[in-house]
Amino acid sequence: MYATDRRAPRRQRGLSLIELMVGIVVSLLVGLAAAGSAKVFTASQRQGISSGGMAVGASTALAAMKSDVASAGLGFFGDSTFKCHSLALSAGTSVKFDGASFAPARITRTGTGSAATDRLDVLYSTAIDGGANVLIAGTATSAAANLLSLLPVSTGQTVLMAPAAPGTTCLVRSVTAVTAATETTPQALAFGSSGTYNQGTFTSAPTFAEEDRIAVLGELRWSRYRLSGTNLLLERPMDGTSATLMRNVMGFRVQYGVSADDATTTLSGWVDPTGGTWGSVAGADVNRVRAVRLGLVTRSAQREKEDESGNCVASDAKPQLFGVDVEPDVTDWRCFRYRTSVVVVPLRNMVW
């Protein structure tokens, strides 16, 4: 008899080709779904970061402007009166004001309607006691002045020479020498040609008489805010420097908050810097300005996707400032989000 092998056949180990192919297909489907979700999540994240950055940037820029603008006029008021209806001011050899009309906070508008944009100039001193003045003795010129009482000023500081009542042009000078008063002579200030604000040549340099005023300014600050394209700039006209405060700014507009007359501190309304009175505010009308209202329109940097029909739905109307449209800088403006930010700044020095 022949012996036979009755052992069971070996079982197959691992995956069959069909099972492997099914697994690969399932993995591909899961990977494609995960990639699509990640892409949507990343786009949403970018849009959220862009919107959040736009809000933070606008708030930071307005806070910086508010702090600066709130000081407007410090040093140019005395005895509760705005003294300087016109000003003579130079920085180095460059004449900035040659007896021109002057306002501590002045708005200049260019363009009309949705294309309108504003420039805001703010001038103030750094001396906390700016405006506390003393009387001039005798006749003072752009070269020297004698004082009837002690003025706490030192060499290198800036002073403002102003009339007792508005009329004569105010004059800004740098003190180059101080002679102390004696029992028989008054305190004397010299304004030599080496001083920062003493080098310009004016068409008609103002002079001052007995009992006109002189006050310490400390340092003089002049800030200018304006748009250059879509960049909000801070410029320093005194030294020619500038910095970009914010990008993607579509609109920058400013309004005066005014009272009915110079004896009332209550606001009667907001006015645009246009027309005969407020287009170039000057003189006694400066006393009616109680506040300014600053407005910014910013655009998100991230463009949003169209809907299923291919239409942009991020914005359904153009942004507005103070009830007037602001023209975006792109033709597909509906694909972007916009933010309008407004801050009101009381001009405390002008109110007081």
pLDDT tens digit string along 98-117?
A: 999 999 999 999 998 888 99
Tokens linked to 181: 């008063």
Kindly indicate the confidence band of residue 35, based on its pLDDT and cuts at 50, 70 and 90. Answer: low
Residue position matching structure tokens 């109307």: 317
More confident residue, 49 or 136: 136
**At residue 147, does pLDDT exceed 70?**
yes
Give the rounded percent of residues in the chain with a pLDDT score beyond 90: 51
**3-class SS string, 236-304:** ECCCCEEEEEECCEEEEEEEEEECCCCCCCCCCEEECCCHHHHCCCCHHHHHHEEEEEEEEEEECCCCC
Q: Looking at residues 218-236, what average pLDDT do you find? A: 93
Give the torsion through C-alpha atoms of 200, 205, 206, 210, to 10 deg.
Answer: 90
Stated pTM of the model: 0.82
**At residue 287, does pLDDT exceed 70?**
yes
Strand partners, 320: 325
Kindly indicate the confidence band of residue 267, based on its pLDDT and cuts at 50, 70 and 90. Answer: confident
> Residue 150 phi/psi, 5° resolution?
-70, 130
Q: Looking at residues 232-249, what average pLDDT do you find? A: 92
Kindly indicate the confidence band of residue 67, based on its pLDDT and cuts at 50, 70 and 90. Answer: confident
Domain spans in the chain, listed from the N-terminal domain onward: 16-83+104-124+221-352, 127-218
Question: For 1-5, 228-232, 255-259, 288-292, which range has the lowest pLDDT when averaged over its residues?
Answer: 1-5
Helix (H) or strand (E) holding 307: none
Could you report the per-residue pLDDT of 198-220, keeping only the tens digit for each?
A: 999 999 989 999 889 999 988 88
Could you report the per-residue pLDDT of 156-175, keeping only the tens digit for each?
A: 999 999 998 888 899 999 99
Question: For 29-43, 180-194, 332-346, which range has the lowest pLDDT when averaged over its residues?
Answer: 29-43
Could you report the per-residue pLDDT of 44-65, keeping only the tens digit for each?
A: 555 555 556 677 888 888 998 9
Question: For 47-61, 300-314, 317-331, which range has the lowest pLDDT when averaged over its residues?
Answer: 47-61
**At residue 32, does pLDDT exceed 80?**
no
- Count of residues for the chain? 352
Q: Looking at residues 180-200, what average pLDDT do you find? A: 93
Q: Report whether 279 contacts 228 (CB < 8 A).
A: no
If one counts every other C-beta atom within 10 angstroms of the C-beta of residue 143, the result is 14
**At residue 82, does pLDDT exceed 90?**
no
Round the average pLDDT of the chain to a whole number and report it.
Answer: 85
**At residue 41, does pLDDT exceed 50?**
no
**At residue 261, does pLDDT exceed 90?**
no
> Residue 139 phi/psi, 5° resolution?
-110, 130
